[in-house]
């Protein structure tokens, strides 16, 4: 089951997430849309992968899962660059800040977590809602 889709900042690639515990990177510029070329199949999550988002410079992609795990992947190597734990329930969405120094995540526990990517630790936890949070957006 396909869960989420995000465009790379260049528009050349698309990332998708799935209930099969994977996320994939597709080339949509050099392939026809009917036959997008799979560039990367990543299976580093233990639970269903739901959220996905790209760093503003395109070097990282974040993925979130139903086990409460947030992963940041280095697209140059295809490997996990870091991961964050701290949500009590499923993590549904993630969004990089415009300057690329923070990552915001949210989900079933009603909290928004702000992660400091340079220090690789949480910088804030906001008890935003009593129920599920499905979207986040930084303002410019």
Helix and strand numbers (H, E) in the chain are 0, 12
**12: Cβ–Cβ under 8 A, 6 or more apart, which residues?**
27, 28, 29, 30
Global confidence as pTM = 0.91
Predicted confidence at residue 1, as pLDDT, reads 83
CA distance 22 to 123: 28
With contact defined as beta carbons under 8 Å apart, do 21 and 3 qualify?
no
Q: Would you say residue 13 has pLDDT above 90?
A: yes
Predicted confidence at residue 139, as pLDDT, reads 86
Confidence at 31, pLDDT banded by 50, 70, 90: low
**80: Cβ–Cβ under 8 A, 6 or more apart, which residues?**
44, 71, 72, 73, 74
Residue 91: exposure state from Cβ atoms within 10 A (0-12, 13-18, ≥19)? buried
Predicted confidence at residue 98, as pLDDT, reads 96
Round the average pLDDT of the chain to a whole number and report it.
93
CA distance 129 to 67: 20
């Amino acid at each position: 089951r396909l869960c989420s889709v995000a465009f790379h900042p260049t528009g050349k690639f698309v990332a998708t997430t799935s209930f099969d515990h994977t996320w994939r990177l597709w080339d949509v510029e050099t392939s026809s849309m009917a036959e997008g070329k799979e560039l990367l199949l990543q299976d580093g999550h233990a639970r269903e992968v739901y959220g996905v988002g790209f760093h503003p410079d395109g070097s990282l992609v974040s993925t979130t899962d139903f086990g409460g795990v947030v992963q940041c992947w280095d697209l140059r190597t295809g490997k996990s660059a870091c991961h964050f734990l701290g949500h009590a329930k499923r993590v549904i969405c993630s969004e990089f800040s415009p300057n690329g120094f923070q990552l915001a995540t949210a989900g079933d526990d009603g909290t928004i977590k702000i992660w400091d990517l340079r220090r690789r630790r949480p910088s804030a936890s906001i008890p935003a809602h009593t129920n599920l949070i499905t979207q986040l957006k930084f303002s410019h």
